Structures are given as C-alpha cells and as structure tokens.
Chain A
Amino acid sequence: MSERLDVKKTYKLVVNGAFARSESGRSYEVTTSTGAFVANVAQASRKDLRDAVVAARAGQAKWWASTAYNRGQVLYRWAEMAEARAAELVEHLQLAEGLKKREAQASVSRAIDRIVWYAGWTDKVTQVLGGANPVAGPFFNFSLPVPSGVVGVVAPQESSLEGFVEVVAAPLCVGNAVVALASERRPTPAVVLAEMTATADFPGGVLNVLTGLTAELAPHLASHEDVDGLDLSGCADRGDELARLAAASIKRVYRERDKGAENPLRRLRTFVETSTVWHTIGQ
C-alpha cells in the first residue's frame, strides 16, 4: 500500500465569516519557542485590515439588532464548539506556548469557561451598567449602555488563547463587532478558535481575525477612522504612539497599564457608550 500524503492545513484570515488568504498573497512561518516549524499563516496587509473593518461595520448592525438573549446563545454555542474541539486547541496551545499537556488542557478549559462567562453577561450588562435616573418631573429617565461599534483589538502576544478570548469576548458580549490582530508569533490557537464562529451562528463580520506583523498592522488599525474602540493589550511597548493615532478619531482606548484595568469588567465597560432617553410617565 502506498504511503498516505500529508493533508496540511492552510491557516487563513477570518474576515466576514469567510476564510481568506491575504490579498497581498503573503504568508509567514510560525515556529515553536525552540524554533521547530509549526505552520505557514497568512500575513495580512493593511488592505485586508481595511476590508475587515468594512465587514465589521456591516456585521455590527446585525449583531446589535439581535436580542441580548440571542447574542448570549451565540457566544455560548461558540463555547460548545470549542469544547468539542478542545483536543485540537490543546495541541495548538502546546506548540504555541510550549506548555505541558496538562497545563494546556487547563488553559483551554479556562478559555472556554471565560467565553461562557461573557455569554452570560450579554443580557446583564444593561442592568449593571445602566439605570433609571431620578429626575424632577413626570418622566422616566434611563441610561442604557450601547456598543461603541467596531472595536480593534491587538491581542496579547504571550497568552495566545486565554488572552485572545479575553480581548475579543468582552467587546463582543456588549454588542460590538471586533477586528482582532492575533498574536504575531503564536497565532494558530486564535485562528482555530475563530474558525469555530462559522458553526456557532455568528453573523458574518462580527468577529474578524487577522494574522500578520503587529508592527505593520496596528498603526493602521489605530488610525482607522471607522474603528470606534481600540484594545492595545498586545502592544504595550508602542502604546503611547498608537493611542496618539487613535486620538485623532476619538476612539475608546483600553490599555492594561491603566488604573483599574485589573477589574474584570473594565474591558467590557470601556467599549460601551451611554445612551440616555426620556419618556413621559403614564399614557
């Protein structure tokens, strides 16, 4: 019997619910910490980023139009998909982060649990972050949290799965669409997890994941005027420069060194705006 040929996986960008190579045709090699080959992954260009933002803008409208309950269901289903493919994630995590199997299993479990935790938040943020304001008149006055819109995320470079879940699930659960740059040297766990959105009822464009060189892409994400929020967790070393670029279009910016960043709700709180409405009491 002849020897079976390897079926090698092509790691692609996740943009608009589809899996695409970079429009530039580029790819780069990912290795383990000891230099062993892991995979060739797509190297996104600024034009891929631009397309992802367009997709996210359209996806966000659909995501926010669905009910909070439904968004919770979708995020929970994402966790279900990850649970079913946990063994695959463990393998990727072992390669990417050099973990022992037991450590990787624990990390994958924590990441999945974190998705479930955020899934639970979708229909609770309004109670926690919103409220009824007392006003001197025959009116109801409500403050309601609404999503910022499109959130750009530079995912943590070290924690390739747990860190990724944290930075994307928080803005997603409050109704934002996300354009995420995966960890540059450890991108495969994030790509595999993002692939699972395809079988979790995510509307196209709600979660877009790009792989590539952080230094090349992050400035374009920061300066893009149609991005409303920016999470700089994955490039603390260039935080000032990127925050300055983001300032031109008055983005919400999240930086891990900021005061209060350790609060688990801080990220979620960063990417909402407050909408206040008045309504007459009675008929």
Chain B
Amino acid sequence: MPAVISVPAIANEAELRVFVSALSGVDQVGVESRVAKLGTRSLKTSTKRRAIDLAISMVDLTTLEGADTPGRVTSLCTKARRPDPGDPQVPAVAAVCVYPDLVAHARRVLEGSDVAVGAVANAIPSGRASLNVKLLDVADAVAAGAHEIDMVIDRGAYLSGRWGQVFDEIVAVRAACGEAHLKVILETGELVTYDNVKRASWIAMLAGADFIKTSTGKVGVNATLPVALVMLEAARDFAEQTGRLVGVKVAGGIRTTKDALKYLVVVNETAGSAWLSPEYFRFGASSLLNDLLMQRLKQRTGAYVRPDEFSGD
C-alpha cells in the first residue's frame, strides 16, 4: 500500500465540511444488489472450515447487560480463551467486550492470554452525556486496563449537521485513549441513509479511529450487509489515500455462521484480503460464537449438533 497522503489534515469545521461534502454519493440500489449477489457465494469443505476458524478468531465476545455480574464475565472470558473446551484446535476469540466497571475483572481472568479486553465507554448506547463525562468514562476504562475502547458518535450532532462537533469529540476521545485502540460506533441504524454512513465513516477515520463499527446492538436496526459494504469501501478508499488501514467491526444481529461467512465474502471482495484478519475485521456478537462452534463440529463429525452442546453466555 503506497503511503500517499492526499487527505488534508483537518484544521477546522469548514475544511471538514468541504472534504466530506465532496465525497461521491452511494448508489443504494447498486450496493444492495451487489451484497445480494455476494451473499449467494457458497463456501464449501476446507474453505468453509478455514472461514469458520477465521470468523471465530474475529469475534468480540460481548456482554452488555444491566444484569452483568463478575461471574458472568468470568465465564465469558473462559469461553473467549478456549471457545470449545473439547477441542484445543479452536482458536481463541479476538476480544471480550464489557462495560467499563468490569474491565479490571476481565483483565484478571484473561491474564496470560492473547484475548484483548474491550470496553464500551462514552455513555453508550445513547452517547447523550456531556463531553467531560464521556472523557472521564473513557479514561476510567483505560485506567482499568482496557486494550480497546468502543465509543459511539453523537448522532444528534451529526444529523443536525454539526459534523465538526462529531469530529472534535472523536479527536478528544482518541487522545484520552492513549495506547488503547479506538473503535468508533456510527450507529448506522440511526443514520438513515448510506450517504450518511459513508460520510460518518470518513469523519471517524479522519479523526483518528482505529476501527469503525456499525452499531451498539441496542437499537432496532443493527449491522446489515449493505452498510458493511459501504463502510468497507470507505476504509479501502481511506487506505488508498493515506496508507493507513482502518478496521471495520460489524455488531448486532449476526447470529448464524451463514451470515458471518457472507460478511467475510463481502470483506474480501470489497476491501481485500488485508482486512481478512482479526486486526482489521471483527464481529461484535454473543450468540454467533455458538453457531460457529456448532458448524465447526458438524464439519468435523458429519452429524448435526445439539445447541446445548456449548455453554450459553
């Protein structure tokens, strides 16, 4: 990837507005028919087995419930390290994702493993808090040892045209993250159009996001294939212009292996094979992992698997 920097350093809101407004629009019908076509691709035998293992290694095992307890996080982390207790060949997942107050506990349980600890900070899921509170939330999670921070953009500001505010907030959170990776949630279900998804993706990447993420999983519409395609195209274009690869995370509503494999096909055909790694593509999910494990076992033994073969979370 040539390290050509043709993207301007954004100095003020006016420059941001000029740059983002100049982005070409998204062809809705084209995007939807393209994913429909890619969705018919079928992965078989050894390719399917490899894809399932890759998908497992891309999972951010997530629990974001009001009723989360340290015990629940412990079992989640145990599962993250070794998803199938019966088979050591199954790769560990990429990360666990919890609320900030449970980060320290997750770190203790995951001591000595490669599984990262992510925290959702920034007043997720609504994001409706003052910047000070949000930054404290982030600093708190980082201090507790989070490797990755998931923040959500201010959709209210974006939708009322205050793009500069969205940008500045991401920059501020980026600074508060220090060494931690920053994933910026666009909450695409609330952005209404693909054009908005594309613009918000660019704003987040320009502001320094390491990852752009579809959704919090807490609203009606979560990750969809067309939205993922729009975001992957934005990440690809951004990489072409700056040489910096920004990851994409799809979250919410992905429950089956079939769905996950469709996403992998879209990743490969849109952004390219460089994104086919946990470093640049993630699934935010909880129930998906069990389906991946079931399909993996089915591939190995030939018999359909009982769902309670694997622990719930």
Contact = CB atoms under 8 A, between A and B. Distances in A.
A53 interface: yes
23 contacts: A50-B304, A53-B304, A57-B307, A220-B303, A220-B304, A223-B302, A223-B303, A223-B304, A224-B303, A224-B304, A225-B303, A225-B304, A225-B305, A225-B306, A225-B309, A226-B304, A226-B305, A226-B306, A226-B307, A245-B303, A248-B303, A249-B303, A249-B306
Which one of A50, A224, A245, A248 has the highest number of Cβ atoms from chain B below 10 Å of its Cβ? Answer: A224
A210 to B, nearest CB: 14
Greatest chain B CB density within 10 A among A57, A224, A225 is at: A225
Interface of A: 50, 53, 57, 220, 223-226, 245, 248-249
B305 to A, nearest CB: 5
A245 B301 CA distance: 12
Interface of B: 302-307, 309
Nearest to A245: B303
A223 B297 CA distance: 13
B128 to A, nearest CB: 37
Contacts of B307: 57, 226
Nearest to B304: A224
Nearest to B303: A223
A196 to B, nearest CB: 29
A224 B309 CA distance: 12
A125 B40 CA distance: 49
A132 to B, nearest CB: 31
A220 B307 CA distance: 16
B290 to A, nearest CB: 13
A110 B297 CA distance: 45
B30 to A, nearest CB: 28
A235 B292 CA distance: 33
Contacts of B306: 225-226, 249
Contacts of B309: 225
Given A223-B302, A225-B305, 12 more contacts: A50-B304, A53-B304, A220-B304, A223-B304, A224-B303, A224-B304, A225-B303, A225-B304, A225-B309, A226-B304, A245-B303, A248-B303
- Residue with the greatest number of chain A CB neighbours at <10 A, chosen from B305, B306, B307, B309: B306
Contacts of B304: 50, 53, 220, 223-226
A274 B186 CA distance: 53
Contacts of A225: 303-306, 309
List of 4 A-B pairs having minimum Cβ-Cβ separation, nearest first: A223-B303, A225-B306, A226-B306, A224-B304
A253 to B, nearest CB: 15
Contacts of B305: 225-226
Contacts of A220: 303-304
Nearest to A223: B303
A220 B302 CA distance: 9
Nearest to B297: A225
Contacts of A223: 302-304
Interface-central residue, B303, B304, B305, B306, by most chain A CB under 10 Å: B304
A53 B303 CA distance: 13
A47 B35 CA distance: 23
B180 to A, nearest CB: 40
A225 B302 CA distance: 11
A249 B305 CA distance: 10
A273 to B, nearest CB: 16
A245 to B, nearest CB: 8
Contacts of A53: 304
A225 B309 CA distance: 9
A162 B92 CA distance: 53
A223 B306 CA distance: 11
A162 B193 CA distance: 58
A53 B305 CA distance: 11
A77 B305 CA distance: 35
A225 to B, nearest CB: 4
B300 to A, nearest CB: 13
A44 to B, nearest CB: 14
Contacts of A249: 303, 306
